[in-house]
C-alpha cells in the first residue's frame, strides 16, 4: 500500500474507516463512543509495558486484587467498558519473534524492519520516525522510560539508527532534533567521563536551553517553560520493589507515574498539542531474569502511569491514550496445584528483586547464612541441597549465562526454578516470544480500533486520529 495515499484510501482499510464511518469496526461497544465521533486527537499518549506477556498483565492484576485490595487501572478500564481492546501482530521483517528495536520501529516508521535496527528499512533506507512527523506538524514531543532514555523503545519513536546499540549517537540525535521532554536512565551516554568520545552532552543540552534534572529533587524545581532532559542513574532506574524498600532510592529516583505527570504538565498547554511515549522498560528486564517480584512490581508501576494518562485524558477530552506492549517475554504464569493460591500470595513477602538478592551472595557465604538470608528477605526456606546448588555458582563450579541483562552471570534461571516450588510461578524461557499483544485505546479514535491489527498499522492510526497528513 502507498502510505502517502493512506488518507485517501481510508485509514482503517487495515485499521478501520477512521474519518468516514466512526462506528465501523468496533472491537466491542464502548460506553463513551458518542463523545469521540468525528473528533480528532489533539494529544496522543502511548504507554508501553516492554516485554509484557499476557501472563504478566494477569499476574499483576491478581496480585493487586488479592494483596493490595484493588483492581489494576488497566483491567478496571476493561471492566468499566470505557476502552477499546484488540490484539496486534508484532513480527519484525527478519523474524516472527521481534526485538524491541524492530517492534518500536514498526510503530515509528510504519514499516517492518529487521531486528536490531531503528527505523532503517530492509533496503537500507532511513525512515522518518513518527514523533518527528508530529514535531513537523507543530506538536511537542517527548519520551519517558525506566531504562536508558536512549534505549530501543523510545528511540523507535524518535530517531533512525543502523544499530540500536549506538546509544551515545542516539543521545546526540535527540539534541539535534530538539525533543521537548526526555526522561529516563542512561547517564553513561551523556556524561563526558563515561562516553568514549568524551563529549559532554549535558553541557550541549544546557547550551540549547534545556533544563537538566539528575534527581527526584531536581524534578520538583523543573521549569516547564523550557525543554526537559531528566537522566536518573548510570544505566536504568531501580526496580520498583527495590526503590520502594529503600529510603535512599525512594528519595533519589522518581517513579514512572511521577515522570509521566511531569511530562504531561510540561507539554499540555502547547496550542498544537503534544505526543508522549511512556515505557516501563524493566518489565522486560525482569522477564529476561525470570524475576517475579521485579516483574510484578514494575508492571504495577506501569499501571500507576496508566492512571495518570487516563485521568488526564478523561479531564482533557482531546487525548488519545494507547496502552500496549511490544512483545511477550518468558510467558510467566501461575501453575495449577493444591497450594497455588497461598504460594502465589507469598510473593507479598518478597522485599527485593532476585537481582538485588543474588548480588549480595558471596563466594564465602555459608549454607546456613544463605538459607537464613533468603528466608528473611523472601519469606520461604530453601533446602540445604538448594542452598548448596546456588552456592556452587559463586564458587565457580557452574555458570549461568541466561538472561539478556545478566551482565554479572548471576544464577537467575536456577533461582527462579527453586522459587517455583514456593510461589507456583513458571516461565517458558528467558527471552522474547512471538505473542499477539494486547492493545487498548481511550479517547478520540478509539471507536475506530479493529479487534486485530498489524504493528505497522498503528503508525497510520495515530496520524489519522490526530488528522496529521503523512506528507513528510
If you write DSSP's letter for every residue of 363-386 in order, what string do you get? TT--HHHHHHHHHHHHS----HHH
Residue set of the binding site for Zn(2+): 50, 284, 288, 326-327, 432
Task: Output the pTM of the full model.
Answer: 0.92
Domains of the chain in start order, with CATH, are 3-332+431-465 (3.40.720.10), 338-426 (no CATH)
446 Cβ contact list (under 8 Å, min separation 6): 30, 33, 36, 83, 84, 320
Report the binding-site residues for Mg(2+): 50, 151, 153, 279
Average pLDDT of span 412-440:
97
Residue 82 to residues 29, 76, 290, 462: CA-CA distances in angstroms? 9, 9, 33, 19
Predicted local confidence at residue 397, as pLDDT: 82
Confidence (pLDDT) at 4: 41
- Cell reading at 282: 524493566
* Pair 55, 331: CB distance under 8 Å: yes
- Residues paired with 238 in a beta bridge: none
Residue with cell 548448596: 388
100 is catalytic: yes
Average pLDDT, the chain: 92
| Packing angle, helices 54-63 and 292-316, rounded to 10 | 90
| Cβ density class 158-193: b for 16+ within 10 Å, e for less | bbbbeebebbbbbbbbbbeeebbbbbbbbbbbbbee
**pLDDT(464) > 60:** yes
Q: Which three cell numbers stand for residue 123?
A: 533496503
What CA–CA distances, in Å, run from 151 to 172, 241, 285, 340, 455?
13, 22, 12, 37, 19
pLDDT at 202 over 60: yes
pLDDT in tens, 113-151: 999 999 999 999 999 999 999 999 999 999 999 999 999
How confident is the model over 39-75, as pLDDT tens digits? 899 999 999 999 999 999 999 999 999 999 999 999 9
Extract the C-alpha cell encoding 205. Answer: 543540552
Q: What is the pLDDT of residues 225-261, one digit of tens each?
A: 999 999 999 999 999 999 999 999 999 999 999 999 9
pLDDT at 403: 73
84, 100, 104, 106: the catalytic one is 100
Q: Which of 15-24, 35-44, 55-64, 150-159 has the lowest mean pLDDT?
A: 15-24
Amino acid at each position: 500500500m502507498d502510505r502517502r495515499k493512506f488518507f485517501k484510501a481510508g485509514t482503517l482499510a487495515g485499521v478501520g474507516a477512521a474519518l468516514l464511518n466512526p462506528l465501523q469496526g468496533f472491537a466491542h461497544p464502548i460506553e463513551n463512543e458518542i463523545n469521540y465521533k468525528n473528533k480528532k486527537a489533539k494529544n496522543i499518549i502511548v504507554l508501553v509495558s516492554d516485554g509484557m506477556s499476557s501472563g504478566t498483565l494477569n499476574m499483576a492484576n491478581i496480585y493487586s486484587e488479592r494483596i493490595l485490595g484493588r483492581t489494576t487501572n488497566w483491567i478496571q478500564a476493561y471492566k468499566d467498558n470505557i476502552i477499546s481492546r484488540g490484539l496486534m501482530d508484532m513480527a519484525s521483517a527478519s523474524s516472527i519473534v521481534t526485538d524491541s528495536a524492530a517492534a518500536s520501529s514498526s510503530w515509528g516508521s510504519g514499516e517492518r524492519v529487521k531486528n536490531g535496527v531503528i527505523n532503517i528499512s530492509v533496503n537500507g533506507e532511513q525512515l522518518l520516525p513518527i514523533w518527528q512527523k508530529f514535531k513537523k506538524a507543530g506538536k511537542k514531543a517527548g519520551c519517558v522510560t525506566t531504562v536508558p532514555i536512549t534505549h530501543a523503545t523510545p528511540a523507535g519513536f524518535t530517531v533512525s539508527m543502523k544499530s540500536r546499540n549506538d546509544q551515545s549517537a542516539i543521545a546526540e540525535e535527540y539534541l539535534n532534533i530538539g525533543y521537548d521532554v526526555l526522561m529516563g536512565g542512561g547517564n553513561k551516554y551523556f556524561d563526558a567521563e563515561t562516553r568514549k568520545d568524551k563529549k559532554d552532552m549535558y553541557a550541549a543540552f544546557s547550551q540549547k536551553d534545556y533544563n537538566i534534572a539528575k534527581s527526584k529533587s531536581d524534578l520538583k524545581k523543573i521549569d516547564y517553560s523550557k525543554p526537559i532532559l531528566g537522566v536518573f542513574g548510570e544505566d536504568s532506574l531501580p526496580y520498583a520493589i527495590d526503590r520502594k524498600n529503600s529510603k535512599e532510592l525512594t528519595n533519589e529516583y522518581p517513579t514512572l507515574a511521577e515522570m509521566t505527570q511531569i511530562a504531561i504538565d510540561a507539554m499540555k498547554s502547547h496550542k498544537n498539542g503534544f505526543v508522549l511515549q511512556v515505557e516501563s522498560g524493566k518489565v522486560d528486564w525482569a522477564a529476561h531474569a525470570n524475576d517475579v517480584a521485579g516483574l510484578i512490581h514494575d508492571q504495577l508501576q506501569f499501571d500507576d502511569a496508566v492512571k495518570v494518562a487516563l485521568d488526564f485524558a478523561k479531564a482533557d477530552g482531546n487525548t488519545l491514550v494507547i496502552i500496549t506492549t511490544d512483545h511477550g517475554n518468558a510467558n510467566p504464569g501461575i501453575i495449577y496445584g493444591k497450594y497455588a493460591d497461598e504460594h502465589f500470595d507469598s510473593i507479598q513477602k518478597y522485599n527485593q528483586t532476585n537481582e538485588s538478592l543474588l548480588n549480595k551472595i558471596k563466594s564465602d557465604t555459608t549454607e546456613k547464612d544463605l538459607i537464613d538470608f533468603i528466608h528473611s528477605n523472601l519469606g520461604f526456606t530453601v533446602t540445604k541441597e538448594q542452598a548448596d546448588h546456588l552456592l556452587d555458582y559463586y564458587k565457580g563450579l557452574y555458570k549461568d549465562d541466561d538472561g539478556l541483562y545478566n551482565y554479572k552471570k548471576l544464577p537467575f534461571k536456577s533461582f527462579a526454578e527453586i522459587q517455583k516450588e514456593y510461589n507456583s510461578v513458571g516461565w517458558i524461557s528467558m527471552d522474547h516470544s512471538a505473542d499477539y499483544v494486547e492493545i487498548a485505546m481511550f479517547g478520540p479514535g478509539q471507536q475506530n480500533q479493529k479487534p486485530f491489527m498489524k504493528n505497522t498499522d498503528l503508525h497510520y492510526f495515530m496520524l489519522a486520529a490526530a488528522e496529521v497528513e503523512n506528507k513528510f
